[in-house]
Structure 1
Amino acid sequence: MTSTMQRIELLGCPMDIASMECTVQHIRAAVASGQFTQHVVVNVAKLVNMRTDAKLDESVRSCDIINIDGMGVVFGARFLGYSVPNRVAGVDLFHELLAMSMTNAFSVFLLGASSEVISTTAQKIKEMYPHLKVAGHHHGYFWDDEAAIVEKIRASGAQLLFVAITSPKKENFINRWQDQLGVNFVMGVGGTFDVVAGKVKRAPKWMQDCGLEWFYRVIQEPKRMWKRYFITNSKFAWLLLKAKLKISI
């Protein structure tokens, strides 16, 4: 970890305080040197779920860079006295890394989402980053033969791998196969491909900055999302309060 990244521990989870620029520079240097880097972003839901999911907890802790994604975590860290200037949103980092890869002639592999979404995503990325080398792409429904997908990624010669699968599947997949992927960098990007493909709209900037991106998702998919966010956000708030009052957790 470079001196420009500060690692803290929030509610038992390690995470790095770093700017977007610092994160991208760190990853560029690691890829250029052939140093394997496993990356993850942490939001409120993941932080809460790590407390009861030992495998997810292990997968996150195994990462070399743990960026703060959700504004809820930023606000929570500030509430407990940490100086966190801002978050490094996964979808924004994804685009920054694609631009960096194009500039540095690094190749990428896209893994996840449905066949339709991944095909559209790959096409749109080629339009947005015309000189980027996309070594390959594959949908996220491959669980009957994970080894075959791992071999496909390795054979592609890709240097950066982006995995758009739901949590905790993506974190556990990455951690399980990290030594056999053949890439220099791997990052889970959640629903990013859905956003790039235009299937899901991202929250307006003001909602992102206010930490209301989760609420925007609830508005779009109320039946699927309201209970998930209500439960995790409530648990997170309670954990923060207990930590602030130094009550044993």
Structure 2
Amino acid sequence: MSNDTNHAFGVSFYTGSKAALLASVREGVKQPYSFVVTPNVDHLAQLQHNAALRAAYSKARLRLCDSRVLMPLLQRLGVAVEEVIPGSDLTIDLLRWADSERLRIVLVGASNEECTKLRNLYPGITVYHHNPPMGFIDRPDEVRRCLEFIRQHPSELVFYAVGAPRQEILASSIESHERTGMGFCIGASISFATGSIKRAPRWMQNCKLEWLHRMLSEPRRLVRRYVHDALFIVPAYRREKSNRTQRAAPINQDL
């Protein structure tokens, strides 16, 4: 839900704890389909010019703060986010729960090798895997193939692992009456969960430096993105702060 206490940068953020979120997921997977997105600075920048991503965000059941860089900015703006919920951590929690409960997962994206590792690590889950080709989002036949795969394989969870904005657009294209379960837009989380990509050491995560570890690990892909994000977020924060100050200022009335 949107209100002044959780809305910033055009996004209504979930402000509860991860424990409360996981408890709600246990019930949510039994209900008509809904999906969850995980906004970070890159997503906020994309939302400024991508109408399809904005439409997908507006349909999401929840929007979780995924970024330790973004969280302090939200708090300074008065958005009382209780804790950061990184998509990579949430994915592990969901996989462990699914493994213990012997749940079904539709996985869109990730390689066949990663999917095999996933089944070995979590033998209690049933995985239905579809990995669309590069550039699929611009090919209606491939998008249709993805959506039909999701509709035709009932599951408690749907993991969209094809990167933003593709995964959010795909997740929002399934209607609530077409199936049950909950979808999660998880980016590279399967690569982290299977060890294909190494996460930053815990101390770097705690110091809000996971972005630096990722950038050094994949410089050709991420340096330009992170520079773009930095150039976006500083003026965006200043504008957001100024707008809130103006709204809070008393209106002078001539007597």
The TM-score bracket by the shorter chain reads 0.7 to 0.9
Alignment of 1:123-138 (within 5 A): 123-134=116-127, 136-138=128-130
1:58, CA displacement in angstroms?
1.2
Q: Distance in 2 between matches of 1:128 and 1:12?
A: 38
Corresponding position of 2:253: none
Structure 2, unmatched stretches of 5+, are 247-255
State the AA in 2 paired with 1:227. R
Number of residues of Structure 1 aligned to a counterpart in Structure 2: 238
CA distance in 1, matches of 2:178, 2:210: 32
What is the CA distance between 1:181 and its match in structure 2? 5.8
The higher radius of gyration belongs to 2
> Which of 16, 25, 28 in structure 1 is aligned with 2:26?
28
Q: Who is 2:249 aligned against? A: none
Pairwise CA RMSD: 2.2
TM-score (structure 1 length as normaliser): 0.86
Give the stretch that moved more between structures: 199-208 or 41-50: 199-208
Identity %: 25
Task: Judging by fraction of residues, say which structure has more strand.
Answer: 1
Alignment of 1:209 with 2:206, yes or no, is yes
* Match in the other structure for 2:132: 140
- Which position in structure 2 is the counterpart of 1:231? 228
CA distances 1:48-85 after superposition (whole Å, capped 9, x unpaired): 21122111111112101111101122111122233333
After superposition, residues 152-191 of structure 1 pair within 5 angstroms as: 152-179=149-176, 182-191=179-188
Once residues 104 and 53 of structure 1 are traced to their aligned partners in structure 2, the CA distance between those partners, rounded to angstroms, is 38
Unaligned runs of 5+ in 1: none
Letter in 2 for 1:137: H
Q: CA deviation at 1:178?
A: 3.6
**1:53 equivalent in structure 2:** 50
For 1:123, give the aligned amino acid: T
| 1:43 corresponds to which of 27, 40, 54 | 40
What displacement does 1:183 show?
3.9
- Relative to structure 1, is the Cα distance of residues 91 and 181 closer, same or farther in structure 2, using a 3 angstrom cutoff? farther
Cα 1:104/1:17, change in 2 over 3 Å: same
CA spacing shift, 1:201–1:181, aligned 2, 3 Å: farther
User: 62, 87, 95: which is aligned to 1:65?
Assistant: 62
Q: Distance in 2 between matches of 1:184 and 1:171?
A: 16
Shift of 1:179: 4.6
